[in-house]
Structure 1
């Protein structure tokens, strides 16, 4: 099989996947492995946003700064004064394969997937138009087009050159100064990455702290970490307008003040990429999420499936890939109303979505926040604890972190866990397993953490609970 073989031969497939990012790759890989002739339609680069403009390059930008900060927290480790920005950007370029997707295409071809270049658009029942050609699916079309930045309606913004998330992760030079609008994950990660690379960064947040969707203590700790890196935080203010002159961008704020920088990064959220997709003919609105059941089947259209950001369920690469595996399994097996926690349903979307914010300190969370659990009507007990164990003391001098465990008192199982502190991401999977497995706190007591590791915080949480 080869790339775009459909251009020369049979245009009928068992499955057509629109969108060749990680989610589409997983869906296509699953159906191809199941013996179904599968086309993967991609308008830009196979590997998608995550590989070239999101997960991989952003973490490549962040990691060197984290390593330097970690070394500084351990006396006796020789460290330099600052990062080598050119080397960091060169390594970032290598992680994106210099924005060349040939390696991803080779993987797809080797997996038995036929790659079709071009923008896919639904034109009717089981039909997809790509560059004037019409492809037909015998069994299913799976939409995995992801999401795009949500641009605010801000006076002057359209007239000023500015960064979105793509520009922020692919820039080849460090700006002398950067204004970041938005205190979500992209905003805080990019604020810290560029600050540590030498840019003077100002972060503008409309609320009282960044990361408003997480527990408040997590946002507070991240705010402290940003300030330690020299980031100026402007909280509780909204942007009212943008202007630009002579290589500088100025953001006007609701309190009458303004902030300026060489570059402006607008990081105010994302929305499903359902524009120019043909969803209107099936009763959906362009720009809105496609509603799906847990197998990924789109509401009211028995042959149409979707996975990932385009569904609006959990805008995270790993969760989209999980949903894609469920969709692929459901299409291969023809599953109808499968039981929860089987391979063809994305059950965890509702109860156990893990997420890491890769700042320093890191934030790692899974399940519900306290507010979400109470809003759901659960009788919960919340256990809060400073992360202060032998493992954290050895890990870094002055280690500062916090943990929260939320217990459903009726079932005595965990429904939410949040860690915030240096290198807490590696604690997250244990919490995810505990929530997915509905392990009682009494049983969890017998999962003995190794000493001396930061994981010993689990023992302290359970002791604080009363075991």
Structure 2
């Protein structure tokens, strides 16, 4: 680590017995994932010298080792293969099958072999300090960190404590499931071999991405989706993804729920509410996540353990006196996505530094540099299934619930660019319009490689660009983005 940069190190009563120390620093960031790293970096760059990151697992967090990066590394090789097979000429050059071990090895390379030394090097090179251990709040501005060897360090923050502890998977109330060894998202993305039969409980983003990956790597896959597929998105998006999975041989069960689970002789048996029994070698439970706040010591500052941290626009935690406790990322329950965590982190790190300088006091206006407005109004997300789903802003249902004067424009993606992109291209696009204001408040695209359309939609939503002005944003020909022209024509322009 770099030098102590002027840390105040104060002996405590426990230190005299050799059990702990107390340090006064500028900022304590609880959680060394991508959100925590960005909070710390921005606060330090804003002029706060003594910024400490506390992490009890791998520095870099869920995204680097068990979520975004390894999951997309599992998906990308077979997506490229599928794309080649949709193009006559290219398809003729595909003469072999996917090299499963090479895919798994490349996945592991993106996790650095589950070694965080390069991330630690970045933290130290950025002028931050890392403390390893489990963190708990201990009253105002105090964080007690217990290392793996039992050593205790108490960090006292002059300016702020920022909670960026992320989220953890939830387990549904299925009889017997708690006694059945099963995969969560971590086990799926770090798997060292492909099971012959995989059951996926949950038809959200994680469940469908992993169903896609493992089916294309050779597993027999069944997805049990409860009431809907991709239920948080436009219904048509879920329908198209489910259809594509079925075409690839995945059984997608909708309208039937898991009732009980058991493991016998190495096989997982999942009984559905209809009485049907499904059997597999592995079970992936991907039914959602919750903020990781149970063991953070929230009760010491008057907050409820286990609940999401309620924040104002600047990331300050409500219900705690003063402006010293902040939160960013999944722990807030808002937009639990890596890019949104980093976005919130930038605002929080900047506002902590600004307030330490005597600036940015009081409530922050929407869209100011110190506000996290997009967490509630303009969240972009890509589901890396095949077809991809890319969405931003409000769905039709969400817009109606919010009282928006809704008009929806939707059509199949059938433009010159899509027909060149792949034979038999199947896609769909939808704009949710605020008709009273003449702006886009939500957009969804479904199809091969539509993720690259998403940022233009995000700019339109965030910038509240009037439709008559969007008409003059001419899409290049022949690209899939020509669908923008068709959507605006359908909107009456």
Shared fold (TM-score, shorter chain, > 0.5): yes
Cα deviations by residue, 1:398-427 (Å, 9 ceiling, x for unpaired): 000000011111110000000011110000
Q: State the distance in 1 between where 2:238 and 2:70 align.
A: 23
Q: State the distance in 1 between where 2:8 and 2:161 align.
A: 21
Deviation at 1:284, TM superposition (A): 2.3
Count of aligned positions: 466
Question: Which residue of the partner structure matches residue 150 of structure 1?
Answer: 170
Structure 1 stretch 390-399 or stretch 26-35: which is displaced more? 26-35
SS at match of 2:377: coil
User: Normalising to structure 1: TM-score of the pair?
Assistant: 0.98
Which residue among 95, 98, 105 is the counterpart of 1:90? 105
CA contact (8 A) 1:5 1:116 kept: no
Question: Which residue of the partner structure matches residue 226 of structure 1?
Answer: 245
CA contact (8 A) 1:251 1:258 kept: yes
Deviation at 1:161, TM superposition (A): 1.0
Is 1:255 aligned to residue 255 of structure 2?
no
Which residue among 106, 113, 134 is the counterpart of 2:128? 113
Which residue among 312, 322, 328 is the counterpart of 1:307? 328
Q: State the distance in 1 between where 2:229 and 2:70 align.
A: 22
Inter-CA distance 3–420: structure 2 relative to 1 (3 Å threshold):
farther
Deviation at 1:111, TM superposition (A): 0.6
Deviation at 1:339, TM superposition (A): 2.2
Deviation at 1:338, TM superposition (A): 2.4
Q: State the distance in 2 between where 1:172 and 1:61 align.
A: 12
Deviation at 1:6, TM superposition (A): 10
Which residue among 388, 394, 401 is the counterpart of 2:420? 394
CA contact (8 A) 1:57 1:170 kept: yes
Question: Which residue of the partner structure matches residue 19 of structure 2?
Answer: none
Question: Which residue of the partner structure matches residue 149 of structure 2?
Answer: none
Question: Which residue of the partner structure matches residue 87 of structure 2?
Answer: 74
Structure 1 gaps of 5+ residues are: none
Q: State the distance in 1 between where 2:242 and 2:39 align.
A: 38
CA contact (8 A) 1:26 1:321 kept: yes
Give the 4+ runs in structure 1 shifted more than 4 A.
3-10
Is 1:414 aligned to residue 440 of structure 2?
yes
Question: Which residue of the partner structure matches residue 370 of structure 1?
Answer: 396
Q: State the distance in 1 between where 2:436 and 2:469 align.
A: 15
Is 1:379 aligned to residue 376 of structure 2?
no
User: Normalising to structure 2: TM-score of the pair?
Assistant: 0.93
Question: Which residue of the partner structure matches residue 65 of structure 2?
Answer: 52
CA contact (8 A) 1:378 1:408 kept: yes
Cα deviations by residue, 1:224-251 (Å, 9 ceiling, x for unpaired): 1111221111111111111111111011
Cα deviations by residue, 1:20-41 (Å, 9 ceiling, x for unpaired): 0000011001011112110000
Which residue among 122, 126, 129 is the counterpart of 2:144? 129
Equivalences for 1:34-45 in 2 at 5 Å? 34-36=46-48, 37-45=50-58
The two structures, once aligned, show a CA RMSD in angstroms of: 1.5
Q: State the distance in 2 between where 1:3 and 1:404 align.
A: 54
Deviation at 1:258, TM superposition (A): 1.1
Cα deviations by residue, 1:79-138 (Å, 9 ceiling, x for unpaired): 144311000000000000011001111111111110110011101110100112111100
Question: Which residue of the partner structure matches residue 20 of structure 2?
Answer: none
Structure 2 gaps of 5+ residues are: 11-22, 147-151
Tell which structure's C-alpha radius of gyration is larger.
Answer: 2
Q: State the distance in 2 between where 1:156 and 1:348 align.
A: 40
SS at match of 1:135: strand
